[in-house]
């Protein structure tokens, strides 16, 4: 079996990303939930798996129901990217609201203390 440079790079990146996620989770760093760790393992683990076993994409194509294995990989990637964007936008939205609440509380502090 011939191993290409891109496969080695992909495997190394996947190992670094997963190990960082596991380390953050074990150390209980704030915001590192099990859900986030699971997503990290699925995304980077999936990439590593395809890098090691390129034929795995055929298996993925069968599961997704798309004949072309590359198309199946791209589609799966799109879906995962979409999910991540959705999650990010939700987090930004939540943060925006929290900033507004803090700003409001701060501006009303004087009025509240007069009450």
Pick the binder of another protein from 19, 33, 81, 90 (CB under 8 A).
90
The rounded Cα 112 to chain-centroid distance in angstroms is 42
Q: Is 100 in the site for another protein (CB under 8 A)?
A: yes
Task: Check residue 112 for interaction with another protein (CB under 8 A).
Answer: yes
If one asks whether residue 106 binds another protein (CB under 8 A), the answer comes out as yes
Cα separation, 100 vs 107, whole angstroms: 10
Among 19, 89, 95, 98, contact with another protein (rule: CB under 8 A): 89
Considering only 19, 62, 71, 97, the residue that binds another protein (CB under 8 A) is 97
- Which value, to the nearest 10 degrees, does the dihedral of the CA atoms of residues 71, 75, 81, 86 take? 160
> In angstroms, rounded to a whole number, what is the distance separating the alpha carbons of residues 53 and 74?
16
Cβ contact 37:22 at 8 Å: yes
Q: At what angle do helices 34-52 and 5-26 cross, to 10 degrees?
A: 160
Q: Which is nearer to another protein, 74 or 79 (CB)?
A: 79
Interface region with another protein, contact rule CB under 8 A, candidates 14-22, 35-43, 63-71, 100-108: 100-108
Which residue ranges make up the site for another protein (CB under 8 A)? 86, 89-90, 93, 96-97, 99-100, 103-104, 106-108, 110-112, 115
């Amino acid at each position: 079996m011939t191993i290409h440079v891109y496969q080695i790079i992909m495997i190394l990146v996947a190992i670094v990303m997963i190990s960082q996620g596991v380390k953050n989770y074990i150390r209980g760093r704030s915001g590192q939930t099990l859900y986030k760790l699971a997503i990290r393992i699925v995304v980077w683990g999936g990439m590593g798996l395809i890098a090691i076993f390129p034929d795995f994409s055929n298996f993925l194509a069968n599961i997704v129901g798309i004949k072309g294995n590359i198309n199946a990989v791209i589609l799966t990637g799109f879906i995962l990217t979409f999910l991540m964007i959705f999650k990010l936008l939700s987090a930004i939205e939540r943060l925006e609201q929290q900033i507004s609440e803090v700003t409001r509380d701060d501006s009303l502090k004087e009025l509240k203390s007069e009450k």
